Amino acid sequence: MNTTAEQLRVLDALLPEWLEDSRKEAAFGEVASYIPELSKAPHSALGIHILDKNGSSASAGDCSLSFTLQSISKVFTLILALMDNGEEEVFRRVGMEPTGDNFNSMLKLELVRPGIPFNPLINAGAITVTSLIRGDSPAEKSKRILQFFRSLAGGVELQVNEDVYRSELETGNLNRSIAYLLVENGVLGGSVEDVLSVYFRHCSIECTCRDLARMALVLASDGIDPFSGGRLIPRRYVQVAKTFMITCGMYNASGEFAIKAGLPAKSGVSGGILTLVPGSLGIGVIGPALNAKGNSSAGVHLLERLSRKMDWSLF
Ligand code: DON
């Protein structure tokens, strides 16, 4: 199979059956409830959208379902922080290594010196990165983030889901603990509540799997919007982001996903997964029921099968 358009035509025919098969995996997962508002998501939903640089697409399942980006936002706030500050400044405060711990763990912040977060995709790292986004106030930082995300989504008017934001603000005490430890370690400056409000707001930006596919396509195109031809992200920062997605993007299942699917990916606790085939395709998936590692159980099943069948692995 040569062109992506041919691949997408084949997929349009095959996806519905593969998707229904993967949907069964939702039975083994649970919808996240530690952010109470997230628990309202439909347990067995599963949707996928795949988009190429010419605008051809294939999709199946519950593609109109809206969900919040959650940790998927961390990839793009990292990129914005890199664009605002450069690599040297960002990586003075956050490391480049997987942790082997839960995404919301603060264990290594105490155990390993210097007490900087291991990487930008765990909560400690993402909170630190969020603090580096330019802006005179939390509102201005949040506005810049939203504008950046909208440009990556092709101008779609993405919005913050205020119910999810409030739900996380009210219950996010573990993130508060992490942030105070970061202040103690000299990593974070300023007001903890200000940083967390910006962090919770970007995690609460609402999207569909089509929006995810569109944002992923910019990464697949090395930072260029394939439809306008404009550069949205320097190529080097896309390289950095894709590498983190391979090594840390699927929490403690990143190694397994790299072996089975072989694609850069980032998941979120809402059940979203953003992934891409470098050079050609952006892919967005939603499946709210999460497996034991915190990734969409049906979504991972579908993506691993797709990548194997289509021979998409980079390795
Ligand atoms: O901070 C949290 O717990 C959520 N806003 C995001 C968590 C998530 O998606 C998993 N992160 N790696």
Based on the number of CB atoms within 10 Å of its own CB, is 163 exposed (0-12), middle (13-18) or buried (19 or more)? middle
Does residue 99's CB lie within 6 angstroms of at least one atom of ligand 1?
no
Q: What is the mean pLDDT of residues 293-307?
A: 98
Q: Closest ligand 1 atom to the C-alpha of 103?
A: 12
Q: What is the 3-state secondary structure (H, E, C) of 160-189?
A: ECHHHHHHHHHHCHHHHHHHHHHHHCCCCC
Q: 104-108, 170-174, 207-211, 239-243: which has the minimum mean pLDDT?
A: 104-108
123 CB within 6 A, ligand 1: yes
Catalytic annotation on 137? no
CA distance 275 to 213: 8
Average pLDDT over residues 275-299: 98
pLDDT tens for each residue of 26-39: 999 999 999 999 99
Known catalytic membership, residue 199: yes
Instruction: Find out whether the beta carbon of 104 lies less than 6 Å from any atom of ligand 1.
Output: yes
Tell me the average pLDDT of the chain.
97
Q: What's the whole-number mean pLDDT along residues 195-202? A: 98
Query: To the nearest 10°, the Cα dihedral for 208, 50, 216, 295?
Result: 70
* Ligand 1 pocket test, candidate residues 37, 167, 203, most atoms within 8 A of CB: 203
**Closest to 5 measured CA to CA, from 60, 59, 51:** 51
d(CA 210, CA 24): 22
Tell me which residue has its CA closest to atom 8 in ligand 1.
Answer: 71
pLDDT one-digit tens code per residue, 75-87: 999 999 999 999 9
68 lines ligand 1 (CB under 6 A): no
Q: What is the number of the ligand 1 atom nearest to the C-alpha of 71? A: 9
Instruction: Determine the pLDDT at residue 110.
Output: 86
**The CATH number of domain 71-203 is 1.10.230.10:** no
Enter the tokens of residue 121.
């995709």
Place of tokens 């993402």: 126
Q: pLDDT value at position 114?
A: 87
Residue of 119, 164, 173, 269 best suited for mutating to test ligand 1, as the one with most atoms within 8 Å of CB = 269
From the CA of 251, give the closest atom in ligand 1. 12
Q: Is the dihedral of CA 192, 197, 201, 202 positive or negative?
A: negative
Instruction: Establish whether residue 41 lines the binding site of ligand 1, counting it when its CB lies within 6 angstroms of any ligand atom.
Output: no
In short, whether 204's Cβ falls inside 6 Å of ligand 1 is no
- Predicted confidence (pLDDT) per residue in 53-69, tens digit: 999 999 999 999 999 99
**Residues 245/264, Cβ–Cβ less than 8 Å:** yes
Would you kindly state where each structural domain of the chain is located, as residue ranges? Answer: 4-67+208-310, 71-203
Note the pLDDT tens digit of each residue in 100-139.
Answer: 888 888 888 988 888 999 999 999 999 999 999 999 999 9
Q: What is the pLDDT of residue 2?
A: 63
What is the dotted CATH code of the domain comprising 4-67+208-310? 3.40.710.10
User: Which residues have a Cβ under 8 Å from the Cβ of 136 and sit 6 or more positions away?
Assistant: none
C-alpha angle with apex 248: 174 to 156, nearest 5 degrees?
85
Of 312, 310, 314, residue with least CA distance to 9: 310
In tens, the pLDDT along 169-192 reads 999 999 999 999 999 999 999 999
Task: Convert the pLDDT of each residue in 128-145 to its tens digit.
Answer: 999 999 999 999 999 999
> In angstroms, rounded to a whole number, what is the distance separating the alpha carbons of residues 314 and 278?
8
Give yes or no for residue 1 having a pLDDT over 70. Answer: no
CA distances from 33 to 121, 138, 251, 269, 276 (A): 20, 27, 18, 9, 28
C-alpha of residue 268 to centroid of ligand 1, in Å: 6
Residue 297 in contact with ligand 1 by CB distance below 6 A: no
251, 267 Cβ separation under 8 angstroms: yes
What integer pLDDT is reported at residue 113 of this predicted model?
87
269 in active site: yes
CA gap 74, 264 in Å, rounded: 14
